[in-house]
Amino acid sequence: MNTSHSKAIRQWEQDLIDSYYDYYYHQILDPLYEEFQRWKVGELTHEDMNQAIHKVHKENQKLYTFFTRSRKDLVWMIQCDRDWFVAWAANHPPPPGVELLPNFEETYIEVDESQNS
């Protein structure tokens, strides 16, 4: 594999990881932002905010653990989030040589149980 090809694959993988990281940070932090807005106008108490921050901290720890895996594992695990990955990959097609997970719907083989009796 030539160097420019390797760089293209590495860049695509990094874009995938960065996009997924950003997506999940929004999943965690956007609701907290909304909670801060509600607290700011007096709809929530300090205790409510303390609980919301604690919940986000726990979720952030899970996210950190997920993203400290090897690059290869991350690329494969992100692809397992099929809905997200298919939507992302539509606008970010992989360069040649990227090993993708098979499409689960295409590889699923329905077994005719009547033939097994």
Check whether 110 has a pLDDT greater than 70: no
**Terminal CA-CA length for the chain:** 50
What pLDDT, on a 0 to 100 scale, did the predictor assign at position 97? 87
pLDDT tens, residue by residue, 30-84: 999 999 999 999 999 999 999 999 999 999 999 999 999 999 999 999 999 999 9
Split at pLDDT 50, 70, 90, the class of 25 is: very high
Tell me the pTM.
0.80
What pLDDT, on a 0 to 100 scale, did the predictor assign at position 2? 72
Split at pLDDT 50, 70, 90, the class of 1 is: low
**Could you give the CA distance from residue 48 to residue 114 in angstroms, rounded to a whole number?**
57
pLDDT tens, residue by residue, 8-20: 999 999 999 999 9
Long-range contacts of 72-76 (CB under 8 A, 24+ apart): 74/17, 74/20, 75/13, 75/16, 75/17, 76/101
Do residues 18 and 104 lie in contact, with contact meaning Cβ atoms separated by under 8 Å?
Answer: no
